[in-house]
Amino acid sequence: MITLSIIVPLFNERESIAELINELSVALGDRELQELFSHPFSHEIVMIDDGSTDGSAEVIKSLTSSTPGLKLISFQKNFGKTAALSAGFRVAGGEFVCTIDADLQDDPASIKPLLQKLLEGNDLVSGWKRHRRDPLTKTIPSKFFNTVTRLFTGLRIHDINCGLKVYRSSLSRSLELHGDMHRYIPVLAAWNGFRVGEVAVSHRPRKFGTTKYGAGRFLSGLFDFLAVLFITRYFRRPIHFFGMAGLISFLAGFGISLYVTLDKIFNNHFISNRPILFLGILLLILGVQLFSTGLLGEMLSISAPPESRFAIKETQNLTNLQEQNISS
């Protein structure tokens, strides 16, 4: 069995690839790192080309013959970092898995301390970009994002969305990610009962190319945040969310309708011109609808398939089993 699978999501990072692979080879060749494991160390590097149009895939292919364990998955088009990571997690054959950005901002030398911390009894160890080398337009929103997420989820780590993380494969395989949810992996992991730790890692300025995330990240980040909050609280029991809201609405509507009806019967008040009658009807209908949405949610949550979140253009160097896993 492979000891460590390195997963690299990349989108138009042609200039960085060769250097990254060199740095990874040096880091993985480190004796101390290899001796962390009791059995002989082996690794694979799975690069997921997320629809690059700059020839990144060609660069990777040209390096496969000279780089043992280098594998490639090319997406048909750009599906986003979350999809790329999901594909990587699904094919990873390693007992342990490490994700790293392709743009050389994460330092492969930090993999060793992360693994050390993992082996101390964690299931996921996230890097903490303590000295983050990015413009203020990134670092300030990121601080805000981390603080809000910490507040709402109770997860006590500083840097939730660091590209550099190590996992036990039992955890990485179990992750069901969609949207841009890679940002919340530690939250989802902790919610599933896994032990999450963090280690400060070195971070470097972007050397080539530009960031793939503009201002649009804030909006999609917000929606994913709501989705994650919902999922982590109610995914396995949607009826508890919708059912409660539906019940409150229904009871309020019922109370109002009862009141107007009694008012009509006993006081003979004219009721069809009273706004409160309409409110009562509205709340009754809303209540029933919320309740049925909850029931539908229950059915969906049982049968949500993990497939169809990415379509693969080609793969290289995967074993038969990996092929099956990725295309099923």
Binding residues (CB under 6 A) for ligand UDP: these are 9-11, 13, 50, 78, 80-81, 84, 101-103, 105, 163, 211-213
DSSP alpha helices (H): ranges in the chain?
14-29, 31-34, 56-64, 81-91, 111-119, 136-153, 169-174, 185-191, 216-234, 238-267, 275-303, 320-327
- Under the criterion CB under 5 A, does residue 12 sit at the interface with Mg ion? no
Nearer to Mg ion, 103 or 159 (CB): 103
The binder of Mg ion chosen from 105, 110, 172, 232 (CB under 5 A): 105
Size of the site for Mg ion (CB under 5 A): 2
- Under the criterion CB under 5 A, does residue 103 sit at the interface with Mg ion? yes
How near is the Cβ of 20 to ligand UDP at its closest, in Å? 9
The site partner of 84 among Mg ion, ligand UDP, none (C-beta below 5 to 8 Å per kind) is ligand UDP
How near is the Cβ of 148 to ligand UDP at its closest, in Å? 17
Q: Three-state SS for 195?
A: coil
Nearer to ligand UDP, 150 or 204 (CB): 204
Nearer to ligand UDP, 191 or 225 (CB): 225
C-alpha 72/C-alpha 313 separation (Å) is 11
The site partner of 50 among Mg ion, ligand UDP, none (C-beta below 5 to 8 Å per kind) is ligand UDP
C-alpha 88/C-alpha 48 separation (Å) is 7
How near is the Cβ of 211 to Mg ion at its closest, in Å? 6
How near is the Cβ of 220 to ligand UDP at its closest, in Å? 11
C-alpha 232/C-alpha 192 separation (Å) is 8
Buried b (16+ CB within 10 A) or exposed e, 227-241: bbeebbebbeebbeb
C-alpha 319/C-alpha 279 separation (Å) is 62
Residues of this chain that interact with Mg ion (CB under 5 A) are 103, 105
